[in-house]
Amino acid sequence: MRLLRQALGSRRGLILIGLGAAWLLWQAWIFATAPAKIAAGFPDRQRINALITLPFAPERFHILVFQRYGRVSGTDGTRVELRGIDRSQLGAIARHYWVRRIEPLQQGG
Partner 1 sequence: MNALLALWSLLLRTSVKWPVLRTLAPFVPVVALWWAVAAWGPFPPAFFPSPPDVWAKFVTLMEKGILPEYLGDSVGRLAIGAAVGIGLGVPLGLWVGLSKRAHRALWPVLLFFQAIGDIAWLPILIIWFGFGLTTMTFVIVYTVLFPVILNTVLGVRSVRIELHRAAQSLGAPPWRILTEVVVPGALPNIMTGLRNGLGYGWRALIAAEMIVGTSGIGFLMFDARRAGSVTEIVLGMIVLGILWYIVDAWVLAPIEQATGRRWGLVTQ
Contacting residue, 53, 69, 89, 96, with partner 1 by CB under 8 A = 96
Residue from the set 4, 6, 29, 77 that interacts with partner 1 by CB under 8 A: 6
Among 55, 88, 106, 108, the residue binding partner 1 under the rule CB under 8 A is 55
Contact flag: residue 4 with partner 1 (CB under 8 A): no
Cα 44 off chain centre by: 22
Distance CA 63, CA 66 (A): 5
**Piece in contact with partner 1 (CB under 8 A), picked from 35-43, 51-59, 66-74, 77-85:** 51-59
End-to-end CA distance of the chain: 58
Beta bridge partners of 86: 47
Residue 12 or 45 having the CB closest to partner 1: 12
Closest by CA position to 102, among listed 35, 51, 33 = 51
How many other C-beta atoms are found inside a 10 Å radius of the C-beta of residue 90? 20
Where along the sequence are the contacts to partner 1 (CB under 8 A)? 3, 6, 10-13, 15-16, 55-56, 59, 61-62, 64-65, 96-98
